[in-house]
Structure 1
Amino acid sequence: MEKENPSIEPGTPILGKDYSIIIDTKGPYFVYGHPRLQQEFIVPNADGEAWEYHPGETYNTEAEPVALCRCGHSRTKPYCDGAHTQADWDPRLTADRTPLLDSAETYDSQYLELSDNPDYCVHARFCMAKGTVWEQINNSDQKESYDLCVRETFHCPSGRLKIKNKKEDRFLEPSLKPSLSLIEDPQEECSGPLWVKGGIPIEDCECNAYEIRNRVTLCRCGASTNKPYCDGTHATIHFKDGLKPLKKHKE
């Protein structure tokens, strides 16, 4: 079957062409190219607001491909152990393939334009620090608010939030190397999505391609209603992957 020519989201700075993810429509994510796979923990600031990511354990991706669990039931997470064949879950890929920005709301200011597509929200909460990004956008003529808007959108793992520099007429994106992260959220006592970075192409096993984006979050609890994307359900069901907790850092 001939592959589709996928759309590429504006602002995607690099394309991870040496990597790919193929989604088994009834099973795991098959990852090709040996990208780095590491835990990333959402860590709060002194005010208890989600503020930064701390790295955790790194996992082996030497196999070709690596099969990663997406049903949430594997006993060898993050890897697939075949549990999807017996688990009670809905594997259907129901997400709209319309480019994310096509159905995003926009919030305008003098210097910045914020695009927001809440269908991709994973409840990482970086957008809620220091007020909210929607409040800060109104004050983006001030350097502190401008910098906060950029920072908070850059930390949004799913790309739900994107910032455009109006003077330069271009979207601003963090420079992310093609890699994968397992998001962990100790504050909410749950494990989050598979964070795909750096423009890694994603398609299903029937060669149907998804939009290539710099920041993508894929469901790994098995309960999202917007598969393959995460819709934040992991926080509602308190999904836990059972992987190693964050090591305490010395002050």
Structure 2
Amino acid sequence: MRIRVLKDGPYEVSGGVPLKKMTIGANKQGESTHWIEGERLKTGQAYRLCRCGKSKHLPFCDGSHAHGFDGRETAGRIPYEEAAIRYQGDGMELLDQEELCAVARFCDVAGSIWNLINDAENLEIATQQACDCPSGRLTIITDDGTRVEPELKPEIALICDEPEGKMGPIWVRGGIEIEAEDGTVYEKRNRVTLCRCGKSRNKPFCDAMHMEEE
């Protein structure tokens, strides 16, 4: 299974990667609290996903990128654990690579994860918030050195940010390889989010510019 970033073009997915929709679920206060499984889309062994945000056949590419899309990749190649800021809490540590943020907002509930880590009694909720982060920006490391990750099988999810009324990024789950246009492979991670509005300043990854759209 692999995702290849084509020069100024779409994401070329190969290996029969399952594709589905996932919606951000919220509580009565409008806070992101859970994920809602959506429909599975029919695909073949290979397919192309729109990266410019202009396709009339979303989420699939229809060639609209040919009309002037600048898809230059600008993301760095520093490994996550080297790039992330480390926050030492009570009985846990939080890794935070802010530039990966897709603004899914799971980290804001119950006073925010950055405050929660200061009390060991909050380990469960802080861990859940970090694991619900689709972009992999946040990771909890427990006091015994265990890096906690959600169990995700290899698949792609198209995020619908229903509380904000936005089309969210492409959620790549389960360690699928992402190949840059120059043939190199980005660090393989359990969860990352790819831009699909075409406006990210951290291409191919999402930096939440879709939240700026009208």
TM-score (norm 2): 0.97
Kept in 2: contact 1:39–1:184 (CA 8 A): yes
Report deviation, 1:110: 3.1
Answering whether residue 97 of structure 2 is matched by residue 121 of structure 1, we say no
Return the match for 1:52 from 4, 26, 34. Answer: 34
Higher RCO (CA 8 Å, separation ≥ 6 residues) = 1
Matched-pair contact (CA < 8 Å) for 2:9–2:69: no
Contact 1:22 1:29 in 2 (8 A): yes
Number of residue pairs matched by the alignment? 214
Between Structure 1 and Structure 2, the one with more strand by share is 2
Q: How does 1:76-115 map to 2 (within 5 A)?
A: 76-86=57-67, 88-115=68-95
Question: Which of 8, 25, 39 matches 1:43?
Answer: 25
- 8 Å CA contact 2:8, 2:69 repeated in 1: no
Return the alpha-carbon distance in structure 2 between the equivalents of residues 185 and 164 of structure 1.
28
Correspondent of 1:224 among 181, 184, 200: 200
Gaps of 5+ in 1: 1-18, 239-251
Shift of 1:25: 1.6
Write the letter of the residue equivalent to 2:176: I
Whole-angstrom distance in 2 between the partners of 1:34 and 1:115 = 32
Q: Which residue of 1 aligns with 2:175?
A: 199
Q: Shift of the alpha carbon at 1:97?
A: 1.0
Unaligned runs of 5+ in 2: none
- The match for 1:182 is 158
Q: Kindly state the Cα deviation for residue 170 of structure 1 after the two structures are TM-superposed.
A: 2.2
1:13-52 matches, within 5 Å, as 19-52=1-34
CA RMSD of aligned residues (A): 1.1
Larger radius of gyration: 1
Residue of structure 2 equivalent to 1:155:
132
Determine if contact 1:23/1:203 at 8 Å carries over to the other structure: yes
Which SS does the other structure have where 2:152 is aligned? Answer: coil
Percent identity between matched residues is 42
The match for 1:164 is 141
**Post-superposition, which runs of at least 4 consecutive aligned residues in structure 1 deviate over 3 A?**
none
Give the Cα separation in 2 of the matches to 1:234 and 1:29. 18
Tell me the SS of whatever aligns to 2:124.
helix
Equivalent position SS for 1:148? helix
Q: Measure how far apart 1:205 and its partner are.
A: 3.5
